[in-house]
Amino acid sequence: MDIVTPGIGLIFWTALLFALVLVVLRKFAYNPILQTVKAREDSIREALSSSSKAKDEVEVLKKEIEEMKQTARAEREIILKEAKDSASKIMTESQDSARKEYERIVASAQEDIRNEKKAALAEVKNQVAKFSVEIAEKLLRKELSDEDYQKKLINELLDETKLN
Amino acid sequence: MIETENLMKHPKNMKHKCLKTNILLLVFFLFSPLLLSASDSDSSSEAFNPTDMIVHHIKDDYGWHLFDYHGEGGEEHSVSISLPIILYTYEEGNLGNGSLDVFMSNDFHHGEHDVEKGDNTYRLDHGHITELGGKHILDFSVTKNVASMMVSVVLLFLIFFSVAGAYKKRGAVEPKGLQSVLEPIILFIRDDIAIPNIGEKKYAKFLPFLITLFFFIWINNLLGLLPTGANLSGNIAFTMTLAIFTLLITNISGTKNYWSHLFWTPGVPLPLRLIVLPVELLGIFTKPFALTVRLFANITAGHIIVLSLISFIFVFKQMFVGVIVGPVVIAMTMFELFVAIFQAYIFTLLSALFIGLALEDDHH
């Protein structure tokens, strides 16, 4: 019972009670506590790794979406370009055919006009010739009664003819 | 603290009286000017003796003394809890044929009565039980220290069962209430004491021992700080027993490498090995001895300091002394609260270290 001489009673009780606490708490307290803590740590680790995995997946998906957008954009570009090209081609073609048609119409119109003109001129010539003959007939009828005059006329006509 | 540690280092040479004188000297050494000046007034009427008071407080007792009061006639009454006394009494050289006697501590009436049990008559004299027929006694009594330890065991069971229940009930979710008090400590013991010292692979086997050690010491340190509390963790039998647990676990789990280093240190010339061998053998026992003395001396010293400070008030019987001493005692008690957990940590850490050293594999 003295301060620096250990008493056997307290040694006995300390050993007994410490061993009791150790055995009982190991079985009924530490194991559930440590197991639960470990389970929690595992689940946290798992959650962290799966979240980082999910993050990676999202990253991959984002990349894919970006790529798809890129292709879509490129395709749109191509389609627009093709459309523009075909539009301008159609435009050019139709302009060309319109010009040709116009030229053809103009050409045929000119042809007609020329023919009409020829016909008209021929008509006019015929008319003129007819009128001339009629005039000449009338004149001849009248003038043939006067000989001097006939001669003079003949001369005049001859002169004119020479002028022609 | 250093003073006490030096005092306690050679327990075998110490006898009861010698120690009393030493503690008296220690108290004188610390407070000599004050005590000397106070001695004149003390000689009058009922002198207050700080040494007796302090030694009585740090020593174990058969009953649990709570307080004294003075009756109407001025007579002093002492209120204490009676505890069971368990004695195994045997004749010299006849250990196997003794008798087991059990009675309560208040049967002694503070040493005024002898207790007769069969052929044996027991007398309580200055805290010692003797058999008047000169028989030998093995004393397994539930003393104040043992009772305090039982209280601590009940508290530990209550705390840990409620926490373990919470873990079972709530599962692997965030800790709550008492869980969040114990969990960081348990994880600290696991992650900062057990794993670094013993190693990731082998620590699990020793973790329950280390956790128990830590909480057992801590709670008993704390109970010892309560008023009328027992000085259990400042008792050398208690600290020695715990250190013996560490000693046994260390040496039972020691690897081949540990023992070969111990008995036949490699890489040392032959003549030197013969010198190293006894040193190493001694080392087996000095490690737990250091554990024993460290805890015992720190806790006892803390108690002595606090009690000495309080003694000032009763020595001087002056108001201003109380005004000065009060805050100092509070500060000291705060420090003792820190020492309580710190010494539990040190004991656990060093136990883990010793176990780790014994488990070390060859890595030369």
Query: Does B362 or B354 have the greater pLDDT score?
Result: B354
CB pairs under 8 A between A and B: 138
Tell me the shortest Cα–Cα distance from A73 to chain B, in angstroms: 49
Percent of chain B at pLDDT > 70 equals 87
Contact: A17, B168; criterion CB under 8 Å: no
Query: Does B167 or B346 have the greater pLDDT score?
Result: B346
Query: Of B257, B173, B162, B155, nearest to B216 (Cα)?
Result: B155
Query: Does B349 or A136 have the greater pLDDT score?
Result: B349
Interface of B with A in 24-53 (CB under 8 A): none
| pLDDT given at position B309 | 92
**Is B2 a residue whose pLDDT tops 90?**
no
Q: Is 0.90 surpassed by the pTM of this model?
A: no
C-alpha B95: how far from chain center: 29
Q: d(Cα A163, Cα A155) in Å, to the nearest integer?
A: 12
pLDDT, averaged across chain B = 83
Write out chain A's pLDDT in tens, 164 residues. Answer: 477 788 889 999 999 999 999 999 999 999 888 888 888 889 899 999 999 999 999 999 999 999 999 999 999 999 999 999 999 999 999 999 999 999 999 999 999 999 999 999 898 888 888 888 888 888 777 766 777 777 787 788 788 776 55
| pLDDT given at position B4 | 43
Element (H, E) at B148: helix B144-170
Strand duo B136-139 + B84-90: pairing: antiparallel
- Minimal Cβ distance to B212: which of A1, A10, A25: A25
Q: Binning pLDDT at 50, 70 and 90, where does residue B46 land? A: low
Q: Is the dihedral of CA A23, A25, A31, A34 positive or negative?
A: negative
Query: Does B84 or B125 have the greater pLDDT score?
Result: B84
Tell me if chain A has a CB within 8 Å of the CB of B88.
Answer: no
| pLDDT given at position B38 | 39
Condensed to tens digits (0 to 9), the pLDDT of residues B245-283 reads: 999 999 998 888 888 877 777 777 888 888 888 888 898
Q: Which residues contact B254 (CB under 8 A, 6 or more apart)?
A: B262, B358, B359
Contact: B142, A34; criterion CB under 8 Å: no
CB B197 within 8 A of CB B349: yes
Contact: A43, B172; criterion CB under 8 Å: yes
- CB-count exposure of residue B311 (10 Å: 0-12, 13-18, 19+): buried
- Looking at beta carbons, which residues of chain B come within 8 Å of A26? 208, 212
Q: What is the ipTM of this complex?
A: 0.81
Tell me if chain A has a CB within 8 Å of the CB of B243.
Answer: no
Cα→Cα distances A24→A27, A134, B4, B212, B233, Å: 5, 159, 36, 10, 21
Contact: A33, B143; criterion CB under 8 Å: no
- Determine the residue among A5, A16, A25, A40 to mutate to test chain B binding: the one whose Cβ has the most chain B Cβ atoms within 10 Å: A25
**Is B66 a residue whose pLDDT tops 60?**
yes
Q: Which residues contact B241 (CB under 8 A, 6 or more apart)?
A: A6, A10, A11, A14, A15, A18
Query: Of B65, B141, B151, B136, nearest to B103 (Cα)?
Result: B141
Q: Supply the DSSP string of B262-283, one letter for each residue.
A: HHS-TTS-HHHHHHHHHHHHHH
Contact: B237, A39; criterion CB under 8 Å: no
Q: Binning pLDDT at 50, 70 and 90, where does residue B126 land? A: confident
Contact: A32, B168; criterion CB under 8 Å: yes
| pLDDT given at position B20 | 55
Q: Which residues contact B97 (CB under 8 A, 6 or more apart)?
A: B90, B91
Contact: A17, B150; criterion CB under 8 Å: yes
Q: Which residues contact A13 (CB under 8 A, 6 or more apart)?
A: B140, B142, B146, B149
Contact: B211, A20; criterion CB under 8 Å: no
- Looking at beta carbons, which residues of chain A come within 8 Å of B236? 3-6
Instruction: Enumerate the β-bridge partners of residue B116.
Output: B121
Which amino acid is residue B91, in one-letter code?
A: E
Contact: A30, B211; criterion CB under 8 Å: yes
- Determine the residue among A5, A8, A10 to mutate to test chain B binding: the one whose Cβ has the most chain B Cβ atoms within 10 Å: A10
- Minimal Cβ distance to B212: which of A4, A22, A37: A22
CB B151 within 8 A of CB B222: no
Percent of chain B at pLDDT > 90 equals 39
Tell me the shortest Cα–Cα distance from A5 to chain B, in angstroms: 7
- Looking at beta carbons, which residues of chain A come within 8 Å of B186? 30, 33-34, 37
Torsion, CA A82, CA A83, CA A85, CA A88, rounded to 10: 170
| pLDDT given at position B7 | 42
In A, minimum Cα distance to B58 occurs at: A3
